[in-house]
Amino acid sequence: MTRTAVLRGIGAMVPPRAVDNDELSALLDTSDEWIRTRTGIRRRHWADPGMATSDLAMVAGERALKSAGGGPVGMVILATSTPNQPMPATAPQVAAGLGLGTVPAYDVTAACAGFVYGLSVAAGAIAARLADRVLVIGADLWSTRLNPDDRATAVIFGDGAGAAVLEAGRESDPGALLGFDLGSDGLHRELARVPGGGSLQLADPDTPFQQSDHYLTMRGKEIFTHAVGRMSESSGRLLKQVGWEARDVDWFAGHQANARILHAVADALDVDRSRVLIHLDRVGNTSAASIPLALTDAAGQGSLRPGQNVLMTAFGGGLSWGSAALNWPDVDVL
């Protein structure tokens, strides 16, 4: 029997502090109307000083484990572009904090597509019998890496974490991950990046420290075009792979970056806009956390029900993108 990764639990967490558009409008040359009409975002959550990505990830991971009925896992995969530090990876700290012992744990960096990448890696580990259960977490804390004077990024991003527990099962099981489509294009890596902090631009005691080198920079119009094209193409390939028509998609769970992007991709796929999950209006763009946050919210509200077909797709810096499909299981949302 071919082992298939099956979703058994899900959990999410956003920091308590909510930052609405009016608060940012008092600091930037913008307005609530400008932000809402261009992005669909009304508020986002930012972490308080001293809170780290690992803190968000551990809460979401703990909730996902409880949703899955508890028990051990054999691997932890953390999708993040904002680790606690460049080295070591943050995933081992999360695993230790959750009391998971000495299981293998590692970070996956694929920007906003990180959670989909993490799911695919977990599915591969389960198929290869490296683990029977895997905890996949998408967590990002971008608020400390945003230029407070840059309207292109400061109004968009929020902090958060979302997690899923996958375990070995059969393709016919509710919650089975039915297929993936992944891609990247490093020729356009400069469209979204944090220039400093890596081997290409190390700290130099003889060079004045440039705070701006550690801020996220993004060329929004170009990112918009690439996001719509890549997510549409990837989703279309995956639909053919799993044998779904557009009418078979009960919920389209795209990366929560911009409502206009989500609607454009849905239109390209001929998926009705009423089936597009929208969660970004309340949390902003939470990068690798956005899809599990949206799924947890929809399941908790009762919109996402057992037996429904879910198409996930995401796009982020790298450039990187990916899509995944599953039939939603009966899971508890805590």
Cβ atoms of residues 155 and 28 within 8 Å:
yes
Residue 109 backbone dihedrals phi, psi, to 5 degrees: -115, 105
Alpha carbon dihedral 205, 208, 211, 216, in 10-degree steps, equals -80
Reply yes or no on whether 309 is catalytic: no
Number of neighbouring beta carbons within 10 Å of residue 212 = 12
Max Cα distance, the chain (Å)? 61
In the structure encoding, which two tokens stand for residue 246, read together?
A: 């557009």
Peptide bond connecting 319 to the previous residue in cis, omega within 30 degrees of 0: yes
Cα distances (Å, whole numbers) of residue 47 to 59, 161, 197, 264: 13, 11, 21, 31
Catalytic one of 21, 258, 285, 309: 285
- C-alpha 248/C-alpha 312 separation (Å) is 13
Known active-site residue 279: no
* Structure-token pair, residue 327: 């039939």
Q: Which of the following is catalytic: 255, 258, 279, 327? A: 255
Catalytic residue, candidates 21, 112, 226, 327: 112
Question: Is position 263 annotated as part of the catalytic site?
Answer: no
Residues belonging to the active site: 112, 255, 285
